[in-house]
A and B are shown apart, each in its own frame.
Chain A
Amino acid sequence: MDQKERQILVTIISTVLITGFYVWYVYQKHVVGNLEILNDFKFWGRSFLWLIPLAVVTQIVIHIIYAIINRIVTNEDVPSKTDEMDKLIELKAIRISHLIFTFGFIGAIGLLAFGVKPYVMFIILFSSGFLASMVSEIVKLYYYRRGI
């Protein structure tokens, strides 16, 4: 497994951990014993808004720590350069992840039309965003391993 593949694995693991901890934290702090909050749009707005900077900052920190550990263990730098193959793989991954998120979005809005409660829409939106990001990384890993 080379550097790019290892970096993708770090991203996958950190995304799962960050999202998992965040959902667990929000659930324990706000939702337990107060299910009514799920119908509060302000709660959903705040939860989404907080997740973005938290996820970005944590990802950056994790990648810095990974780069340091990688340098110590393998005596190699993490590649910072992107070339034509990286860009092509990135484009294919983005296309698939956008498709997944679009289906999630349409599904979420469609459920609203059928009278499902709005919090279900937010859960589906959040889940499809997470799934799209996971699939994007897995697709990248697949193309790096199998070729393009």
Chain B
Amino acid sequence: MGKCLINNNIRKLRFMAGEMTQQELADRTGVTRQTLIAIENGKYSPTLELAFRIARVFQLPIDEVFSFNEGEDTLSTKSKTE
């Protein structure tokens, strides 16, 4: 699998939200716990809609939950060299 370019702070944010469980966050965002685990571990990049839902649970803007890993992005490094 290609490396996931989206980083996230979900684990930290869950901890700060009173050690919210993965199941609770999954229920509040309408996904399965497995999908949430995959997102937390960087194995799956969520859709924009799901990313907004997760950010809404923590009452934060989306860029405080997710960030783009530019260092790993082959497209941006290609365009820089051109």
Interface residue ranges, A against B (CB under 8 Å): 2-4, 79, 81-86, 144, 146-148
Interface range for B:
10 to 19
- Mark B residues whose CB is within 8 Å of A: 1, 4, 30-32, 34-35, 37-38, 41-44, 46-47, 50
Closest B residue, CB atoms, query A148: B44
Flag if A147 contacts B38 (CB, 8 Å).
yes
> Looking at chain B's contact residues, is the secondary structure mostly helix, strand, loop, or mixed?
loop
Q: Is the CB of A147 within 8 A of B41?
A: yes
Are A83 and B43 in contact, with the CB atoms below 8 A?
A: no
Say whether, besides A147-B1, A147-B4, A83 and B31 are in contact (CB < 8 Å): yes
**Shortest Cβ distance from residue A101 to the other chain B in the assembled complex, whole angstroms:** 25
Q: How far is the CA of A84 from the CA of B31 in the complex (A)?
A: 8
CA distance in complex: A83, B43 (Å): 15
Contact B35 A85 (CB under 8 A): yes
CA distance A3 to B1 in the complex (A): 22
